Structure 1
Amino acid sequence: MVSTPDGTGRFAGQVVAITGAGGALARATAVRLAAEGAKLALFDRDTEKLAETAALCPGALTVPGDVTSAADMAAFAEATQAAFGPAHKLVAAAGILGKAGPAIEMEEEMWDRVFAINVKGAWLAARAFIPQIRTHGAGAVVLFSSTAGVMGSPTLSAYSASKGAVSLLTRSLALNHAAENIRVNCVCPGTIDSPMSDSSFDMAGTGAARDAREAMMLAKIPMGRFGLPAEVADAVLYLLSDSAAYTSGVALPVDGARLA
């Protein structure tokens, strides 16, 4: 259901907080939510990308900050409530790839950074916003995992391990809050046509080496193409919507059947 001029839609009047809002997948999600009537609170440490997303979502609140900072996340939650009232929904989309390489060759600083953003950031967002969601007597949370959080990766070991943690954090939160009618799910995007995927190809090098990495990834996808940010956004909106009222604790692949 698409928003109509009178502001109706699946999310009309609902307050949705989004972390990592400057990223391609979060931006596509924000645009879809805005089109369906949501009031958006957007959070990212990249102020330029945050502003670009906000420009596509009239009326959105923007709060710059670091997802690894409890103080910044608390400030985001407070700003959201001050602007719109308590949040109804949360999308925790902030994440980074980190460096490529086997797990035991990863620098400690990089390992900690990947886990801080991908795992701690999702946990801090849930901790800050679920108390707000609780006040409505129901709500929904969507975290961002990855197909790499379901299967191992020989090249993105830290990223894979962190996203595996997000997948199980999702299940734990779903159990924690099921009796409160707060549903918690995660999406597991595969290779999506986005700057993050471009970065993963770039890790192979330039020229023929990069092309070979991209071709190798494409060959693993039964549908024969990379996904689109809008297709991930569609999955997020489904999980946030009343159409998924009996769905919680799910890690939903959006991957062209790669995990099938």
Structure 2
Amino acid sequence: MRGRPIGAGKAGALLAAALLLTACDAGQKAAPAPPESAPSAEPASPTPTPTPTHRRLKPGAKGDDVKELQRRLKALNYDPGKVDGKYGPSTEMAVWAFQAVNRMKKKSTLGKSFWEALADPKEPRPVAKKREKHRVDVDLKRQYLVLYKGGRPRLITHISSGSGEYYCAKDRGATVPRCRYATTGTGDFRTGRRFSGWETSPLGRLYNPIYFNGGIAFHGALSVPKHPASHGCVRMPMHIAEYFPDLLGTGVPVHVRRPR
């Protein structure tokens, strides 16, 4: 204050009172006095709840964005398995099927282009002129199949068909091996004989097979790689083969093509 100087006794008393007042502060520190013309402080806006970020995902990733991926794939009729937030083999194969339908390069690491495609996906293209309401379309070039129910896709899944390799094996009841190429023939067929559980054939074990072209069947397999690898059958992921026979009846049209 301007004017008469304050006496030492009075100044000491004021200082002691100030110290007593500032000791109530939680931080035990004296706060500086506000300026005479301090503006009124505006209330801080609440921090918005963060949404799952579309980070670069690799197999083995975990988190809310993986759950978002799994839910979105399910909504589009791809089956990534359990929605558990874990990027495992079942989710990876559903990703491959989505990339195939959307004419993208199949890769397991997901970046910006994948998330953009997932937000604006393409419908699978019919492979044949015949477009029955209940049918299966198999695209050998891109390695996926579509099960249609009521004229709409009910299930889209990754597959692995004939590798094209030359091999020799004995057929059932034969005494001499027969050699041939491991191909999945194109054409129009219908589903026929089926077997529940594991069936052992001369070429290996087939899970829940549904035959549609002689000895060629849809079936579950423990290995369904990104590339064609079978002896001619159409392999599919095990978690899908569990219920596939419940979706696909007998005598249902099957169109197998290798479109451009």
When normalised by structure 2's length, the TM-score is 0.23
When normalised by structure 1's length, the TM-score is 0.23
Structure showing greater radius of gyration is 2
More contact order relative to length (CA 8 Å, sep ≥ 6): 1
